Structure 1
Amino acid sequence: MPLPESTLTARTAEQARLLLDFASQRVLGPTMQGEVSAGEVARDAEMTLKRAHHRLTRLYAVGLIGVNGEPNAAAGPSSSTAPPRPPPGCPSS
């Protein structure tokens, strides 16, 4: 049976650790609904924008979220985020 479209599967130990982390789950949740800004994530997760940026940067670094537009090298993913699509040639789960 295929997994629901909103399901993420950890492919690395770091991804698994972040998926099991409650604070990361609070940030990841809004991105699973579609494209959202860091400010929207912060509001929905009830945390500061700085903390949301930190969490989004960690999720982005391990490939659990994608960034639409260019991420700011100093601030991390400040543009809209959404679950990533697998790279071409990679099987999807």
Structure 2
Amino acid sequence: MLKAGGALLVFFAGWGMGNWKSRQYQRRIEDLQMLQLIISCLTGEISFARNTLPEAFSRISTKVVSPFREYLQSIAERLKAQTGEAFAGILKE
């Protein structure tokens, strides 16, 4: 009886950890798909609409969901401020 209970605990612990890890990977895939959308929108905004980077980032921020929206809006604001910072430095922060 004790061995069966232990086996069940091990089984459910493994199942729970696998399920948790699977959800993490799914979120990662969704984030990467959103980044792919942002890059394709940015390419379109610059190539076809001929927008500047601050305009492109602010327009794209209206099309994406929460964590990416704030990030793109902050980039657009910092680019509009024209403080002389390098673009790579703004993206890293």
TM over 0.5: no
- Of structures 1 and 2, the one with the larger relative CO (CA 8 A, separation 6+) is 1
Higher strand share: 1
Greater Rg, structure 1 or structure 2? 2
| TM-score, normalised by the number of residues in structure 2 | 0.30
Bigger proportion of residues as helix: 2
TM-score normalised by structure 1 residue count: 0.30
